[in-house]
Amino acid sequence: MAKNKFSKYAAVFAGLVLLTVLTGCAGQGESRRIIRIAHGQSETHPEHLGLLAFKEYVEEKLGDKYEIQIFPNEILGSAQKAIELTQTGAIDFVVAGTANLETFADVYEIFSMPYLFDSPEIYESVMNDKDYMKNIYESTDEAGFEALTWYNAGTRNFYAKKPIYAPEDLKGQKIRVQQSPASVKMMQAFGAAASPMSFGEVYTAIQQGVIEGAENNELALTNNKHGEVAKYYSYDQHQMVPDMLIGNLKFLEGLTEEERKIFEEAADISTQTEQEKWAEQIEEAKNIAENQMGVEFIEVDVDAFKEKVLPLHEEMLEKNEDIRDFYEYIQEINEKAAED
Ligand code: GCU
């Protein structure tokens, strides 16, 4: 992870030069089409491991025609930038959190709604429901890209330089959120000052005191090293925001039916791999954060946090009709699970 602006820009610049050089090479006697996938995590992150499984499967089946190159660590730019590259077809795929997709299709706002799913099991079962998710995956077609599958990015919780025991502790605190209007609203409802910025900027912003803290899953502490600069992690469980593997629509539509099937199978395999690694790595991350990085994990009264932001549900539904159907569908599943 780049820790200052200069090295971050240098890394992005190097990535773009690399992309230009590689694009140049592809035409010279190389008959295989190079497929480029960008993401913002490190090479040990479950998503990278999932994408390696994607690459392996596609190349095993279609290796004479395609070669897959994976660009981790925001090397081709922040999520927003990499989505634009995918939109124009400069690259073919990107893994991006749904918060970054809200500005392309407002149905994606649903995932920023706090306390939407009653449990991780409900969240996973909804996300794995392909028939339902199809509507959402295709919602960005007009923008020139489409989602192929999802990756688990866990439950988001607050972490900061000072402990957060109750919602009152957030009052006036500058907390980084993803660049999503709905997440900004959520932070305001919590009484904090939302500070939207890209993921790669968070470490330095906490270190330099530009913000007091952020909110994310436990891997942010270890894989992204935020636990070095923020020592208190509070389990308020406000959101479950998935990541999506999205692909350039023209590229996807240019595949033959058989190829498209292989890419879809590869996407499923990548999700299975990611989920297995996710479960392992989350346990490891808690252990490392607590025992090696000195992070204190705090159990809080979740209902006290929930109370602050629940009125947002109605407010968001009133403003955005596109999320109503999905919202009601999830509520039915929440209610059914509560009866069982
Ligand atoms: C998680 C998620 C990313 C997202 C990041 C963020 O790491 O997997 O897709 O970009 O959080 O908070 O920006």
What does the DSSP assignment read for 241-255?
--EEEEEEHHHHHHS
pLDDT at 11: 56
Q: 97 C-alpha vs ligand 1 centroid, how far in Å?
A: 6
Ranges of H-type helices in the chain: 5-27, 46-62, 79-88, 120-127, 130-137, 181-189, 202-207, 219-222, 249-254, 257-291, 302-309, 311-319, 324-339
Q: 7 C-alpha vs ligand 1 centroid, how far in Å?
A: 20
Q: For ligand 1, which residues put their CB under 6 angstroms from it?
A: 40, 79, 97, 153, 178, 199, 216, 220, 243
pLDDT at 26: 47
For residues 217 and 233, what is the distance between their CA atoms, to the nearest angstrom? Answer: 10
Does the structure show a pLDDT above 90 at 228? yes
Cβ contacts of 155 within 8 Å, gap of 6 or more = 120, 217, 237, 239, 240
Does the structure show a pLDDT above 70 at 273? yes
CA atoms within 13 A on the CB side of 29: 0
pLDDT at 8: 53
Does the structure show a pLDDT above 80 at 18? no
Nearest Cα residue to 216 out of 207, 257, 208, 200: 200
Write down the mean pLDDT value for the chain. Answer: 93
Instruction: Give the β-pairing of 93-97 and 33-38.
Output: parallel
Q: 65 C-alpha vs ligand 1 centroid, how far in Å?
A: 32
- pLDDT, average across residues 6-13: 54
Q: 297 C-alpha vs ligand 1 centroid, how far in Å?
A: 20
With beta carbons less than 8 A apart as the criterion, state whether 186 and 306 touch. Answer: no
Nearest-CA residue for atom 3 of ligand 1: 97
Lowest mean pLDDT among 10-24, 26-40, 53-67: 10-24
Write the DSSP assignment of 156-183 as a string of letters: EEEEESS---SGGGGTT-EEEE-S-HHH
Q: What is the pLDDT of residues 310-323, one digit of tens each?
A: 999 999 999 999 99
Does the structure show a pLDDT above 60 at 24? no
Indicate the residue type of 294: G
Diameter of the chain by CA atoms? 63
Instruction: Report in angstroms the alpha-carbon separations of 92 from 10, 125, 207.
Output: 23, 28, 34
Q: At what angle do helices 324-339 and 130-137 cross, to 10 degrees?
A: 160
pLDDT at 340: 86
Does the structure show a pLDDT above 80 at 276? yes
* Percent of the chain clearing pLDDT 90 (strictly above): 90
Q: What is the pLDDT of residues 119-177, one digit of tens each?
A: 999 999 999 999 999 999 999 999 999 999 999 999 999 999 999 999 999 999 999 99
pLDDT at 10: 57
- pLDDT, average across residues 215-230: 98
Q: What is the pLDDT of residues 229-251, one digit of tens each?
A: 999 999 999 999 999 999 999 99
Does the structure show a pLDDT above 50 at 1? no
Q: 29 C-alpha vs ligand 1 centroid, how far in Å?
A: 38
Instruction: Report in angstroms the alpha-carbon separations of 318 from 190, 242, 306, 321, 322.
Output: 20, 23, 19, 7, 10
For residues 230 and 215, what is the distance between their CA atoms, to the nearest angstrom? Answer: 11
pLDDT at 208: 98
Q: Which atom belonging to ligand 1 lies closest to the Cα atom of 198?
A: 13
Pocket test for ligand 1, best of 76, 198, 216 (most atoms within 8 A of CB): 216
Does the structure show a pLDDT above 90 at 278? yes
Eight-state DSSP code of residue 152: -
pLDDT at 17: 53
Buried b (16+ CB within 10 A) or exposed e, 171-208: eebbbbbbbbbbbbbbbebbebbbbebbbbbbbbbbbe
pLDDT at 27: 47
Q: What is the pLDDT of residues 75-98, one digit of tens each?
A: 999 999 999 999 999 999 999 999
Does the structure show a pLDDT above 70 at 23? no
With beta carbons less than 8 A apart as the criterion, state whether 190 and 167 touch. Answer: yes
Q: Which atom belonging to ligand 1 lies closest to the Cα atom of 96?
A: 9
Return the structure tokens found at 73.
């660590």
- CB-based burial label for 113 (10 Å; 0-12, 13-18, 19+): buried
Does the structure show a pLDDT above 70 at 209? yes
Nearest-CA residue for atom 6 of ligand 1: 199
Lowest mean pLDDT among 3-7, 104-108, 197-201, 271-275: 3-7
Does the structure show a pLDDT above 70 at 25? no
pLDDT at 207: 98
- pLDDT, average across residues 327-337: 97
Nearest Cα residue to 99 out of 241, 247, 245: 241
